[in-house]
Amino acid sequence: MERALIVVHRPAASGGRRVSVHRDGGAEILGLAHSDHDLIVFLEAAGLSSPAELLDDPGWVEWRGGGPHEWGWGPRGGGCPPQADSTEATAREL
């Protein structure tokens, strides 16, 4: 299988995931996405038509270091920091 054109990299410690597009033998970083919407906006700006339809197609998008549509714990990503366990946090608060 050929390498995917779009790579959504592992979640950053601060939240979000770097997005790059690979074409013409090179790679271009499109930005840091915190949601599917951000990713779609980046892909539209890169000239891809109907990018929402491509997100779940492994022939187009490679999700590295995390599952598809997982955006990390940052300000818009929701969830807990990777090193925190919500059970431990609750126990400390009691």
pLDDT digits (tens, 9 = 90+) for 30-51: 999 999 999 999 999 988 889 9
Tell me, what's the pLDDT at 88? 41
What does pTM read for this prediction? 0.74
pLDDT > 70: what percent of the chain? 72
Over residues 52-73, mean pLDDT: 91
Domain containing 41: what range?
6-93
* Structural domains in the chain (count): 1
Q: How many helices (H) and strands (E) does the chain have?
A: 2, 4
Asked if residue 42 is part of any domain, the answer here is yes
| Residue 4 pLDDT grade (very low, low, confident, very high; cuts 50, 70, 90) | low
Asked if residue 60 is part of any domain, the answer here is yes
Asked if residue 1 is part of any domain, the answer here is no
Nearest to 39 by CA among 13, 65, 14, 60: 60
